[in-house]
Structure 1
Amino acid sequence: MRFSVLLSTLAVTAITHAAPYEGDIVQLWNQQWTDMVRGGVAPSNTTLPIPILPAMIHGAMYLASVLTKDDPLLVQQAAVSVAAHGVLESIYNNSVPVQDAIDDTLETVLSELESGGCNGTDPDTATAIARASAVGRDAAAELLAKRVDPCFHEPPEYAWGPPEAGVYQRTEGQGLVPQAPQSVCLRPFAGLDDITRFRAPPPPATDSEEFEEEIEFQLAKGGLNSTSRTDEERDIAYFWEGPPAVYWNRAAVGVLGDRYKSDVFSSAKFFAELNFAGANAYIATWDTKYHYNMWRPITAIRHPTPWVRSGRDIHDPDWLPLLTPTPSHPEYVSGHSAISAALGQVLKQYAGDEIDFTTSVDVRRDNRGVITLSFASVSEMVRSAHSSRVYGGVHYRFSCVGGGNIGENVARSTLENFDTFWRQF
Structure 2
Amino acid sequence: MNVLKVAIVGLTLISANTAVRADVIADWNNTAMGVMKAANVGGNPWTRSMALVNVSMSDAVNSVQSRYSRYIPELPIDPNASAEAAAAAAAREILMRQYPGQKERIDAAFAETMKTIPDNPARVAGISLGEKVAAAVFAERQSDATNTPDTYRPHTTAGIWVPTTLPLFPQYATAKPWGMESASQFRPAPPPALNSALYARDYNETKEIGGVKSTKRTDAQSDAVRFWTQANLGSAWFQATRQTSARHGLPVAESARVFALMSMAFANCFVVDWDAKFQYNFWRPITAIRNGDQDGNDATERDASWQPLNTTPMHPEYPSQAAINAGAVQGVLEAVFGSGTESFTVTDTSDARLSRQFGSFSQMAQEHKEVRIWGGIHFRNSLEVGESMGRKIADHLVANYYVRSTR
Task: Give the TM-score category using the shorter length.
Answer: 0.7 to 0.9
* 1:89 alignment partner in structure 2: 96
Q: Closer, same or farther in 2 for the Cα pair 1:329/1:360, shift >3 Å?
A: same
The partner residue of 2:379 within 396, 400, 404 is 396
> After superposition, where does 1:20-419 map in structure 2 within 5 Å?
24-37=23-36, 39=37, 41-43=39-41, 49-69=45-65, 75-93=82-100, 95=101, 98-114=102-118, 125=120, 127-149=121-143, 151-161=145-155, 175=165, 177-190=166-179, 192-243=180-231, 244-260=233-249, 263-303=251-291, 305-307=293-295, 309-310=297-298, 313-316=301-304, 318-324=305-311, 326-362=312-348, 370-419=353-402
2:44–2:270 CA contact under 8 A, matched in 1:
no
Normalising by structure 2, what TM-score? 0.83
Q: Closer, same or farther in 2 for the Cα pair 1:232/1:357, shift >3 Å?
A: same
Q: Closer, same or farther in 2 for the Cα pair 1:362/1:110, shift >3 Å?
A: closer
SS at match of 2:145: helix
Distance (Å, rounded) in 2 between the aligned partners of 1:410 and 1:48: 16
SS at match of 1:347: helix
Distance (Å, rounded) in 2 between the aligned partners of 1:380 and 1:180: 30
Q: Closer, same or farther in 2 for the Cα pair 1:74/1:149, shift >3 Å?
A: closer
Q: Closer, same or farther in 2 for the Cα pair 1:347/1:209, shift >3 Å?
A: same
SS at match of 1:354: coil
Unaligned segments of structure 1, at least 5 residues: 1-18, 116-124, 164-168
Distance (Å, rounded) in 2 between the aligned partners of 1:199 and 1:232: 34
Distance (Å, rounded) in 2 between the aligned partners of 1:222 and 1:204: 20
* Deviation for aligned residue 1:33: 2.0
Identity of aligned residues (%): 27
1:222–1:390 CA contact under 8 A, matched in 2:
yes
For each residue in 1:209-262, what CA deviation from the matched residue of structure 2 results, as whole angstroms up to 9, or x when unmatched?
22222222122111122221111211222232224332111111112215345x
SS at match of 2:168: coil
* Deviation for aligned residue 1:194: 2.8
Residue type matched to 2:64 in 1?
T
Q: Which runs of 4+ in 1 moved over 6 A?
A: 70-74
What RMSD, in angstroms, separates the aligned Cα atoms of the two structures?
2.9
* 1:15 alignment partner in structure 2: none
* 2:6 alignment partner in structure 1: none
* Deviation for aligned residue 1:311: 6.5
Distance (Å, rounded) in 1 between the aligned partners of 2:134 and 2:145: 21
Q: Closer, same or farther in 2 for the Cα pair 1:293/1:150, shift >3 Å?
A: same
Q: Closer, same or farther in 2 for the Cα pair 1:421/1:157, shift >3 Å?
A: farther
Residue type matched to 1:259 in 2?
H
* Deviation for aligned residue 1:341: 0.9
Count of residues in Structure 1 that have an aligned counterpart in Structure 2: 373
SS at match of 1:355: coil
2:200–2:297 CA contact under 8 A, matched in 1:
yes
Q: Closer, same or farther in 2 for the Cα pair 1:298/1:36, shift >3 Å?
A: farther
Normalising by structure 1, what TM-score? 0.80
* 2:71 alignment partner in structure 1: none
Residue type matched to 2:310 in 1?
L
SS at match of 2:345: strand
* Deviation for aligned residue 1:281: 2.4
* Deviation for aligned residue 1:159: 3.2
For each residue in 1:75-113, what CA deviation from the matched residue of structure 2 results, as whole angstroms up to 9, or x when unmatched?
1111100000111112222x3xx3211101112222441
1:200–1:402 CA contact under 8 A, matched in 2:
yes
Unaligned segments of structure 2, at least 5 residues: 1-17, 67-77
For each residue in 1:262-300, what CA deviation from the matched residue of structure 2 results, as whole angstroms up to 9, or x when unmatched?
x22221111111111222222111111111000001111
Residue type matched to 1:245 in 2?
G
SS at match of 1:113: coil
**Mean alpha-carbon deviation: is it higher for 226-235 or for 288-297?**
226-235
